[in-house]
Amino acid sequence: MFSFWSSLRIIYSIIFTIGFAYFGNYIKAIESKECTLSTGWRITNGKMLSTILMVIGAINVFCPASKFLSTLPIVGSSYVILFVLAVFLELFILNRLAVNLDSREDTRCSLKGYDNMTSFWATREISHCIYYTLGISIIFFVL
């Protein structure tokens, strides 16, 4: 019914969509806390970017729109650049929020249920965000 690459694209798009939905829930959990991290540009932009990327991944499950859009001459290059920028900004926001959560002495900012995510992103550097962005984007557009 589906070719191997189509099945792989669908599986990757589902994982991509679920991953960015999880990132959005993580940011919303930080927003629901009554601490200094619960407001600001990171929360607002992080929620918006995770929603946009989640929708892009969900669309890519049903049709390879990203592959089609990336082949168009002018629109394609703009789409790819905006996609890579959105993924990098989302990962950068996650990194900064996790680092700030990890270094807080304020107990109001502690998150229950997201300990693994906070410890994972708190130990990463900005260069890791670049590597992850490149990997995610290359796989997204090749499949």
- The pLDDT tens digits for 48-80 are 999 999 999 999 888 887 777 777 788 888 888
pLDDT interval class at 87 (50, 70, 90) = very high
Q: Which long-range contacts (CB under 8 A, 24 or more apart) does 136-140 make?
A: 136/16, 136/87, 137/80, 137/83, 137/84, 137/87, 139/12, 140/12, 140/16, 140/60, 140/66, 140/83
Label residue 13 left, alpha or beta by phi (over 0 means left) and psi (-120 to 50 means alpha). alpha
d(CA 123, CA 95) in angstroms, rounded, equals 8
Token match 């229950």: residue? Answer: 112
pLDDT of residue 90: 95
Mean pLDDT over the full length of the chain:
86
Total domain count, the chain: 1
Expressed as residue numbers, the domain containing 9 is 4-142
- H/E stretch holding 14 reads helix 4-32
pLDDT interval class at 34 (50, 70, 90) = confident
What pTM did the predictor assign? 0.88
Task: Round the CA-based radius of gyration of the chain to a whole number and report it.
Answer: 16
Contact of 98 with 120, CB cutoff 8 Å: yes
